[in-house]
Amino acid sequence: MAQVVDTSDFRPGLKIKWEGGMWVILECSHHKMGRGGAIVRGKLRNLETGSSVDQSFKSGERFERIIFDEKPAQYQYRDGEDYVFMDMESYDQVTIPSNVLGDAVKYLVDDLEVSFDMYEGRVMGIELPNQVVMKITDTPPGFKGDTASGSGKPATTETGLVVTVPFFVENGEDILVDTRTGEYLERAKK
């Protein structure tokens, strides 16, 4: 039996069927209109094509929720615009285009263990772990006394992701990054 959700259940990451396609909600905000009912504005990404749209929905509109089966996988390598993973159960190689993966490509480091999002036997995307260890490839040097400002400096990781790190972090160091927010968490333990 299909699970039904309405606009009050909208949150980033929720996957729904809408207009004959499968969509993931990237952003959403609820707006109360003066006399009329509330509306929900959202940014959605099509799970099959990778295209994104901005859309408004009437409060209370109902949708079928998509629940994926998860299957363990491991990131192998990039092949042009495609990313190659190994299915950890069958050891088959599975290729997924970058437009289907979206922002997840910023966190794909060698041998990263992920989960395939499976729907009716097809891979629809991946689920990242909450934290990933990444190597800093470029960041300006820190100076004595910089810690007083409390902010940080930009650092580019091995995948090209730019995060703000404390001044004491240097090139070549491994850091822990939160894949949900893209923020620096701490230096990686060796």
Model pLDDT, residue 134: 95
Model pLDDT, residue 32: 83
Tokens 């703000």 belong to which residue?
Answer: 164
What count of Cα atoms within 13 Å lies in the side-chain half-sphere of residue 131?
10
Q: Is the whole model's pTM more than 0.75, yes or no? A: no
pLDDT surpassing 90 at residue 103: no
CB proximity list for 159: less than 8 A, separation 6 or greater? 105, 106, 107, 108, 109, 134
Write out pLDDT tens, residues 124-176: 888 899 999 999 999 888 765 555 556 789 999 999 999 999 988 899 999 99
pLDDT surpassing 80 at residue 33: no
Model pLDDT, residue 188: 87
Backbone angles phi, psi at 174, to 5 degrees: -95, 135
| Domains of the chain, first to last | 3-65 (2.30.30.30), 69-127 (2.40.50.140), 131-187 (2.40.50.140)
